[in-house]
Structure 1
Amino acid sequence: MSRLQRVRANLRRAYETGRDSVRLARAETERPAEDTEPEFEPPAPEPTLEHHSTTSRDDAEVPHPLRIAAAWSWRLIVVGVVGWVLLRFIGIISVVVVPLAIALLLSALLSPAVSWLLKARLPPSLATFLVLICGLGAVAGTLTAVVTQFIDGLPQLTASATKGVRQIQDWARTGPLHLSDAQVDQAIDSAQEWINSNTSSLTATGFATAATVFELLTGAVLVLFATFFFLRDGRKIWRFLVRLFPVNARWSLSDAGDASWATLGAYVRATVLVAIIDATGIGLALVILDVPFAFPLAALVFLGAFVPIVGASVSGAVAVLVALVAKGWIVALIVLGAVILVQQVEGHILQPLIMGRAVAIHPLVVIVGIASGVVLAGIIGALVAVPLIAVLNTGIRRLARRRPEVPPSAVVVTAGTDAHP
């Protein structure tokens, strides 16, 4: 063997020895972990609690339902305080708020007539003036007829009332009560003493009412002026108010406002139509039965229909009492049947058919709204409660729904056109 061959053999043996050592090392590293047991278990890492709704670890320790209840609670408290302050502010300026609310109702009622005159190429001011004059004429004529008939029939009603009181006295003596003449006279004397003792308070109320005549006249003038400008410039006023909000909110507010105004108009017109039908039905029954004050009672039914559920019942009860005093029990029962029939037709046919789904409100909400309105603002509150609930219902539904994406070009155009009111 030559020297070169020996060197080659040595290199080959060295290469094989190195390869065997590498294989042993690789086998040692790939041995399974269960073959080598550690001396002790390492401690598990402490889990980290992540709550996106909390800012500290202390808040994370509070149960989630309690945190949700607390969040709702303080937000409701803030809303309640803001609502209370708003109601107090409205109470302070009620002399202005009440005429404006009445003007809005009248504007919603008369706006179709103004629109029709505008389509006939009349100037806006002239069209609004003609509609207001016709409306005032209708109201003045109705009030004149009511007052005239009331004055003409007052002597007959007084005589009927006196006769009815005597019948009640006779019934108290001969009826199931079997009261003596002394007891009846004592009851009458007690009533007279109560009236005499409360004369001062009644007189003070009369003076207080006389002192508010100026406020009533001021409110009536404000109603006329506000109605005129609402009818003529209502769209411009609403656009100016919408421009006070950020650009991204203007589309939603404008859409909600238009829908709310349509709901208010539909409610007022439907209520007027239902009131006319109620007044006509009950008025015809009173005329057929020859009950005095048929026209004033029909007008009272018409006005009472603007307060849903409660107003019709109260006005119908007044008609039944007048029939009882003037014509006796039989006619009063017939009038009561006519009132119940008209109210059933109104509640089950007229209201669903005329009002429709646009102003559909649950009766419980209506009752609670009227009761709250009476507590907060008396008769005006009862009158405004239901249309306010209908408007808020429509407006909130429109604001809560998903609005369509506005193209950037439309936003730019809107921002440019809203520079001037």
Structure 2
Amino acid sequence: MAVSQASGPGGLNTARTRAAVRATARLSAEMLLILLLTGVALWILGRMWSVVWPLTVALLITTLTWPPARWLRKHGWKPALAASAVTVGFLLLAGGILVGIAVPVAAQSDELTDGVVDGIQQLRDWAAGPPLNIGDDQITSAIDTAVAKLQSSIGSVVTATVTGVGSVVNAVVTIVLALFLMFFFLKDGPGFLPWLSRQLPGRLATDVPEVAGRSWATLGAFVRSQAFVGMLDAVFIGLGLWIVGVPLVLPLAVLTFVTAFVPIVGALFAGLVAVLIALVFKGLTAALVVLGIIVLVQQLEGNVFQPMVQSRGLGLHAAVVLLAVTLGGSLAGIVGSLLAVPVAAVLAVGWRYVREQLGDGPA
């Protein structure tokens, strides 16, 4: 006859209860250890950010420039020559984009200045009429008050200016370093995984290069999908500007495409510029129409195009893409929004690989 195990109050099995409590405590301790190690890793990452950020930018740019470099290598070009040609071509393309934006704007700078002055005068005339009935004396008083506040906070303005100059210098250093890293990635990239495999012991020599290769493919899918979404934005917004009759359509479309790689702020900046130019050259009604077009396209991009394209290219559900962007933006601002989706995709790659190794095969 089997001997029944002792039961505690309420008929609970004492041995099983203790085992469940121990398992829960052990799991909780392991989770706390994982969170602690994650926090330490993030702290180290923050301390090394001046190196990590240019490295990240270089990797993202390399995913765009690697296909032409690979094509040149397949057609007999030496790695260094192919990398040099692609790097120079990338710089010429980036410079051409800047010139394509700057030259038309400079050519119409006088009209733009006159339009801004006229626009300000129109706003003053509108404010002076009903229902606001704001007179010139009130406007002048408001301007004087703003100037007084500006003079009283001149120290803060100087500090902010110095900080802004420092940010610009850091951005230039980051871009230059990223370009140099991109050149070396294009030149020596194919040999990285074999080299990494030789440096690692045992099972890691197989697992780490495999995950790294899959992560590289995932980053390429992210950048290509972002470029595709930016192209959709540029085409639709540019078409809307052309229909309304706003000048500088091509520079504004190019600006929309370029800023699409900077989530949230990039779209806001490009939209603000387009609305301002519409207001200056075509009036308030055209500016409101342009604003409506931009809002519509941005809503379609954020809620339809981007989640669909990125979810297919990255193997992530559209809801995961939206949540990742929201979380990244809340944690690290613009940089967090930019890196949230590729980081989530790389984590998903690692998770799927672990499942494959623990299971019977690919999920």
CA 1:175/1:136 → structure 2, altered by over 3 Å: closer, same or farther? same
CA distance in 2, matches of 1:167, 1:204: 34
* Backbone CA RMSD of aligned residues: 3.4
Residue 103 (structure 1) aligned with residue 55 (structure 2)? no
Please point out which of 32, 44, 51 is paired with 1:77. Answer: 32
CA 1:175/1:210 → structure 2, altered by over 3 Å: closer, same or farther? same
Residue 151 (structure 1) aligned with residue 143 (structure 2)? no
Compute the TM-score of the two structures, normalised by the length of structure 1: 0.72
CA 1:235/1:286 → structure 2, altered by over 3 Å: closer, same or farther? same
CA 1:225/1:164 → structure 2, altered by over 3 Å: closer, same or farther? same
CA 1:45/1:138 → structure 2, altered by over 3 Å: closer, same or farther? closer
Residue 299 (structure 1) aligned with residue 254 (structure 2)? yes
CA distance in 2, matches of 1:374, 1:261: 23
Where does 1:255-294 land on structure 2 (aligned, <5 Å)?
255-294=210-249
Mark the structure with the bigger radius of gyration: 1
CA shift, 1:239, in A, is 2.9
CA distance in 2, matches of 1:369, 1:352: 11
Q: Counterpart in 2 of 1:391? A: 346
CA distance in 2, matches of 1:352, 1:129: 35
1:228 aligned partner, one-letter code: F
Over the matched positions of the two proteins, sequence identity in percent amounts to 37
1:360-419, Cα deviation, whole Å (9 max, x unpaired): 54455444433444455443333222222222222321232247889xxxxxxxxxxxxx
CA shift, 1:246, in A, is 3.8
Q: Counterpart in 2 of 1:121? A: 76
CA contact (8 A) 1:252 1:399 kept: no
1:145 aligned partner, one-letter code: G
1:334-375, Cα deviation, whole Å (9 max, x unpaired): 323432454466467754775462315445544443344445
CA 1:387/1:153 → structure 2, altered by over 3 Å: closer, same or farther? farther
Compute the TM-score of the two structures, normalised by the length of structure 2: 0.82
Q: Counterpart in 1 of 2:160? A: 205
1:138-166, Cα deviation, whole Å (9 max, x unpaired): 00121123233333344433333333333
CA shift, 1:223, in A, is 0.9
Where does 1:20-419 land on structure 2 (aligned, <5 Å)?
47=5, 62=18, 64=20, 67-211=22-166, 214-308=169-263, 311-312=266-267, 315-343=270-298, 346=301, 350-351=305-306, 354-355=309-310, 357-374=312-329, 376-402=331-357
CA 1:344/1:370 → structure 2, altered by over 3 Å: closer, same or farther? closer
CA 1:324/1:377 → structure 2, altered by over 3 Å: closer, same or farther? same
CA shift, 1:129, in A, is 1.1
CA 1:211/1:59 → structure 2, altered by over 3 Å: closer, same or farther? farther
CA distance in 2, matches of 1:326, 1:260: 47
2:60 aligned partner, one-letter code: L
Gaps of 5+ in 1: 1-43, 50-57, 407-421
CA distance in 2, matches of 1:195, 1:156: 29
CA contact (8 A) 1:132 1:228 kept: yes
The 3-state SS of whatever aligns with 1:401 is: helix
CA contact (8 A) 1:369 1:385 kept: yes
